Structure 1
Amino acid sequence: MKPIRLVIVEDDPMVMEVNSEFVSRIDGFELAGKACNGSDALQLITNIQPDLVLLDYFLPDTDGFSLLKEIRQQELSLDVIFLTANRSAEHVQQILRLGAVDYIFKPFRFERFRTALEQYRTLVEKLNSTEQLEQSDLDLLIGMRRDSKNTPPKILPKGLNDHTLQQIIQFLQTQTEFLSAEDVAAGTGLARVTVRRYLEYLQTKGRVQLDIQYGSIGRPVNLYKMQTSSLNKQTFE
């Protein structure tokens, strides 16, 4: 069987790099192209006609739902897997109705990414190997997809959102020293009070180390650094 040719549509260069590396680790797939916005993506998809598109929802010039609608209206023969932080039930329903084969919430781990692509590869191999399916074949294929969706998505505490959380995680992953909430706020452009809430959440989850620095006067300062094990998990938005 020929490699499954896929295109990644993602506006964040760091996430694009990580997703590309993830694809390279899975047999049977060929990265045929990349695009960082909707207009470039549509032109690329039209020109090279890939088998699969890994599509982000939030794009600079459009959104993934609108792009998928355009793909369907042009009757382009391809499948789509969404990789996005958008957890809106309404949006998920709309996208599934347009025929997306999977929808993965960010941040995600490599294992979930690999499962999605391997199950898609199995589906393609089965559909290409026979002209007719038995009910048992279809039950198995549908059952595999259901299994991947049985694990409920991680729910963040009220007031926190995935986009900001991942912005802070990605910044911390580039740092080697302990940082205060003020340092992280300066590095991300976020408010210090906002950053502190996310750092406290990450600390309760074991994602960051906490070091309390006591000065001669004033209140102690909490300093944070990404746990080494968290760096290896490679969870990105």
Structure 2
Amino acid sequence: MSEDVLGVVIVDDDFRVADIHGALVQRVPGYQVVGKAHTAAQAVDQVRTLRPDLVLMDVYLPDGNGLDVLRTLLDEPDPPAVIVITAAREIASVRAAMQLGAVHYLVKPFDFSLLIERLTAYRQLRHRLAGLPGEPAQSEVDELFGMLRATPSPMPRPAKGHSAPTLELVRNVVRSTTGDVSAAEVAGEVGISRATAQRYLNYLEQQGLVQLRLKYGAAGRPEHRYHPRA
């Protein structure tokens, strides 16, 4: 696994749900699903074998509790980060997940755009951590904690013919790219056609969420480049 791609293990007792989450993760730039587990025992085994960067952890498993799996993983060398994805709404489960260091807690059912947002925020946090000195200043520490708490500008309700998860993916590519990005580059990251990427970028520009820049070359029409609007 390259340093720019984070490996993910998905843990869910429902095979169909695991496949849905896996397909969504694969569409988020910078992530790759390396394994899926449907029991607590499988989860521990896969983490030990595959050494993922991140685990999407269900709580209700047929042979145990996902939070107990999280406790076990903390004893592993270089344990993965964990996002809890579960139908468990009890405050005791939420408190335990926080105490065990889960970076997020999503309650089923949830809007898929929330998972995309959480994955993007965590990847940005990893990049920021890699660029900080060995002894960061207090302001830099505050920034790190804030990166997981920050709430981006709300997405507008998609227009007819637009998919909300795809719209969020396109926006996140623009947000996470240094400088600006073209429709062709967005298409390559998200896995859609250039024409589709251009349509979503045009919509985001109309909503004031991205800004268009024209890049002029030696000849011909200027290239359309997009960057986040402050």
Q: Which has the larger radius of gyration?
A: 1
Residue 144 of structure 1, CA deviation: 3.0
Structure 1 pair 119/5, CA: closer, same or farther in 2 (3 Å)?
same
Aligned to 2:6: 4
Residue 233 of structure 1, CA deviation: 6.8
Structure 1 gap ranges (5+)? 152-228
Cα displacement string for residues 105-156 of structure 1 (whole angstroms, at most 9, x for unaligned residues): 111112100111111101111111233333333323322322349x9xxxxx
1:23 aligned onto 2:25: yes
| TM-score of the aligned structures, taking structure 1 as reference length | 0.60
CA RMSD of aligned residues (A): 2.2
Residue 13 of structure 1, CA deviation: 1.5
Amino acid at match of 1:115: E
Structure 1 pair 86/233, CA: closer, same or farther in 2 (3 Å)?
farther
CA distance in 1, matches of 2:151, 2:60: 23
| Aligned residues with identical type, % of pairs | 33
Aligned to 2:181: none
Structure 2 gap ranges (5+)? 155-159, 166-230
Residue 83 of structure 1, CA deviation: 0.4
- SS of the residue corresponding to residue 117 of structure 1 reads helix
Aligned to 1:142: 145
Amino acid at match of 1:107: P
Note the 1:29-40 alignment, pairs <5 A.
29-40=31-42
CA distance in 1, matches of 2:28, 2:65: 27
Structure 1 pair 12/70, CA: closer, same or farther in 2 (3 Å)?
same
Note the 1:1-237 alignment, pairs <5 A.
1-132=3-134, 133-148=136-151
CA distance in 2, matches of 1:74, 1:24: 26
CA distance in 2, matches of 1:87, 1:148: 21
Q: Which runs of 4+ in 1 moved over 3 A?
A: none
CA distance in 1, matches of 2:164, 2:120: 19
Aligned length: 154
Amino acid at match of 2:95: Q
